[in-house]
Structure 1
Amino acid sequence: MDFLARPRAEGQGRDEGQEPEAAFQTHRRRRRIRRLSVGAVAALALAGVTAWLVTAPGEPPADESYAAALDEQAWPDEWPATTSLPLRGSPARTWATESEELPLPAATAVGSIPKERVSEGLRRAGEFLVAANLDPEVLRGGWPAEAIDLLDPQQPDRAELTQHLREPGLPDADPTELFTRFDPAELTPARGGIRVRGRMSFEAGGNPGQLRIHADYTFVYALRRVAPHAEPGPAPGTEEVARVVVRRQLVLLYAASGSPGVTAGKLVPADYRRQLGNHDCGTVDGFVHPYFSKEAAAADLPWPRVDPYDDSKDIADGRPSCTVPSRT
């Protein structure tokens, strides 16, 4: 669609005093000039030019930026997203937002566990995912207290994960295995830039009164640099966002009833895998560290290149699991 060829107001299709045929020819010439101008500007931008002016007849004045003249929806895919449209070009833009309910399956009775207890277990699993990956304070580097509180205090996993948060490091103490947090001194989520999609299933666990919950969810985050250190966007007056895609596969055991060494109503993470798209796996400090476009272009990224939105296959076992996203 030729956005720049749209008349700015009704009645611009004919010049004052022109006959209809002459006005039509004039309009065609102007449209041709504008199309050429748009193509030239896009080519310059892709070559790394940081300022663009559109000077075709009837178009914006010379001091109006290219970004203001052309809708960001029409930008080339190679251009990074900005705070104006943080999910531009991403399939995640139609997914659920962090303020919506996490999609959960309908509960049914499983063995001796009644439907009501199964429903509670699914709700607790959803609460854990939200608390670990969508809580605003946690995303800004805060302590995931609510997520930890949902875990069984009698099981060693809770103490181990708490220790990882306090003393992160390689090879086996990386909190990003279960929690999504960003360094508050560097990054903050862009407004309207968080989405989630996934699925959950359940079955009877290995012990009486135990529910085994399988969760597979993908979270997308658009992040901006903390003020006043904005990352310049691809056009004047814009601010770039870095997008991170985090896919998590978890097996959570839910105790519908208590027993020795097991706390009723609590969860145990029996297995958890994560795939981080656009993250510096060489840094293990408890935070996810995305690359902005210039950093990604200059970095040596030794991890496999994958489509981060493809959830058709299970995440390979083994830690860490970082990827170079083919798109974000």
Structure 2
Amino acid sequence: MGKESSSIPDEEWERFLRDAGAGAAEAPQEPSARARMVTRRLREEPEPPRGWRIHEPPRQRRGKGRYAVGLVAVVVCLLAVVLAPGPVAGWFGGEDDTGSSSAAVREGPGGSAAGGSQDAVPTVEEPFRGSPAAGWEDGRAGIGLPEARATGWMDKGQVADALDRTLDFLAASSLDAGVLAGQRPDGAIALVNPHQEDVRDYVKAAFGSPSEENDPLLLFSRFDASEVRPAGDVVKTRGKVTYREGKRGALEVTADVTYVYALVRADGESDEVARTVVRRETVMSWDDPEKVITEPGTFSLVSYAADIANGGCDNHTGYFSPEFVAERTAGGSGEGPEVDPYDRDVPMEERMRQGDATECGRAGRL
């Protein structure tokens, strides 16, 4: 079978599926990440919801689905609630929604949104005080990896290596101290298949001139060091990695992780702590080099989605912009429903559909 790194039109790929079902002798070359995701949607959702459309540009509204470089990319933003945080209804999803995954992993102790007190005020010494994340693990330790077993073109050892590299990508994109301070995430980018033209275009645009369509925050966590700095050296995490056999025997890995960042003002004039909560679902394909043009140790991006609380709504600067009490009071409380950024009981795809129907929402607690 031939190899190809450029995208195949949706119509051609759909025609191939029909021909393959009828016993056609020849197959097209490997599609891009966009074509693979369109195929999966056509198979699983004949009538996809508005938030997952590819061809039509999104409506100009806050909290809508966003699409970049041929991949399916979705983001929902929430403002911080104006008053003291308190418990609210569910928001995030934690169960695997990738179908027949070969392994499932329990998330950390304490349940999806357990812990935290609405009356506890965070301090620089205890920046996660009053938050469910206070009982979560730190950094990599909060991301559960499944047991490896032979899947698709990979043997058990290769699957284990791919899972480790997946964790490396998550750390390099969302936990690295330099990246959090605004640096370019070169370590994370190096793990992505360099032959994916749509991803190359996205990265170039996202870090050259970030915009609504090319937003680096969909995949990478970055703050403006001139505005805020970490309140300590800990990022709290909860999430898991699952996998299954994907197209052409590839290992398809899904990472669903919530990251909690504690920040203080960079000027040091206040010791108030603000928190930004980001949940990302990233689907990546570890492709068979005999069937897809790739480089050893790299994966192809299939899709990515993000829920962001207190990172700045309608923010296209390339940096999260957390609000402190004064900004939240002046900026209003948002137009959408109040939701809980710590709740992982709603599947990510369902959350994305909900977010497409609302304006900028409000985080009930941070």
Normalised by the length of structure 2, the TM-score is 0.62
Query: Structure 2 residue aligned with 1:306, among 318, 321, 339?
Result: 339
Query: Structure 1 residue aligned with 2:293, among 258, 261, 282?
Result: 261
**Equivalent residue number for residue 162 of structure 1:** 204
- Superposed CA offset, 1:20-44 (max 9, x none): xxxxxxxxxxxxxxxxxxxxxxxxx
**Equivalent residue number for residue 184 of structure 1:** 225
SS of the aligned residue for 1:207 comes to: helix
1:83/1:281 CA distance change after superposition, 3 Å: same
- Counterparts of 2:254 and 2:318, CA distance in 1: 25
Amino acid at match of 1:113: M
- Counterparts of 2:142 and 2:125, CA distance in 1: 25
- Superposed CA offset, 1:59-78 (max 9, x none): xxxxxxxxxxxxxxxxx835
- Counterparts of 1:180 and 1:148, CA distance in 2: 13
**Equivalent residue number for residue 323 of structure 2:** 291
**Equivalent residue number for residue 224 of structure 1:** 264
1:109/1:271 CA distance change after superposition, 3 Å: same
Amino acid at match of 1:186: E
SS of the aligned residue for 2:304 comes to: strand
Amino acid at match of 1:271: S
Query: Structure 1 residue aligned with 2:311, among 273, 279, 284?
Result: 279
- Whether the 8 Å contact between 1:222 and 1:243 is mirrored in structure 2 is yes
- Whether the 8 Å contact between 2:139 and 2:234 is mirrored in structure 1 is no
Q: Which deviates further from its counterpart, 262-271 or 281-290? A: 262-271
What does 1:73-112 correspond to in 2, within 5 Å? Answer: 77-78=118-119, 80-98=121-139, 100=141, 102-112=143-153
- Counterparts of 1:192 and 1:303, CA distance in 2: 33
- Counterparts of 2:272 and 2:130, CA distance in 1: 14
- Counterparts of 2:158 and 2:140, CA distance in 1: 25
1:169/1:80 CA distance change after superposition, 3 Å: farther
- Counterparts of 1:192 and 1:137, CA distance in 2: 12
- Superposed CA offset, 1:194-225 (max 9, x none): 201101110011023x1100111000000011
| Aligned positions, number | 245
- Superposed CA offset, 1:220-249 (max 9, x none): 000011134x32xxxxxxx11100110001
- Whether the 8 Å contact between 2:142 and 2:238 is mirrored in structure 1 is no
SS of the aligned residue for 2:240 comes to: strand
User: Displacement of 1:261 after TM fit?
Assistant: 2.4
SS of the aligned residue for 2:164 comes to: helix
What runs of 5+ residues in structure 1 fail to find an aligned partner?
1-45, 47-75, 232-238
SS of the aligned residue for 1:132 comes to: helix
> What percent of counterpart residues are identical?
33
User: Displacement of 1:256 after TM fit?
Assistant: 5.0
What runs of 5+ residues in structure 2 fail to find an aligned partner?
1-83, 85-116
- Counterparts of 2:287 and 2:360, CA distance in 1: 32
What does 1:1-328 correspond to in 2, within 5 Å? Answer: 77-78=118-119, 80-98=121-139, 100=141, 102-159=143-200, 160-170=202-212, 172-208=213-249, 210-228=250-268, 230-231=269-270, 239-300=271-332, 301-315=334-348, 316-317=351-352, 323-328=361-366
- Counterparts of 1:322 and 1:154, CA distance in 2: 36
User: Displacement of 1:112 after TM fit?
Assistant: 3.5
- Counterparts of 1:256 and 1:120, CA distance in 2: 14
Higher relative contact order (CA 8 A, sep 6+): 2
Could you say what the CA RMSD is over the residues aligned between the two structures, in angstroms? 2.4
- Counterparts of 1:121 and 1:256, CA distance in 2: 12
User: Displacement of 1:268 after TM fit?
Assistant: 1.6
- Counterparts of 1:287 and 1:225, CA distance in 2: 15
- Radius of gyration: which is bigger? 1
Amino acid at match of 1:81: P
- Whether the 8 Å contact between 2:152 and 2:251 is mirrored in structure 1 is no
User: Displacement of 1:192 after TM fit?
Assistant: 4.6
- Whether the 8 Å contact between 1:275 and 1:322 is mirrored in structure 2 is no
- Counterparts of 1:262 and 1:179, CA distance in 2: 22
- Superposed CA offset, 1:136-163 (max 9, x none): 0000001100000000000124312232
- Counterparts of 1:175 and 1:109, CA distance in 2: 33
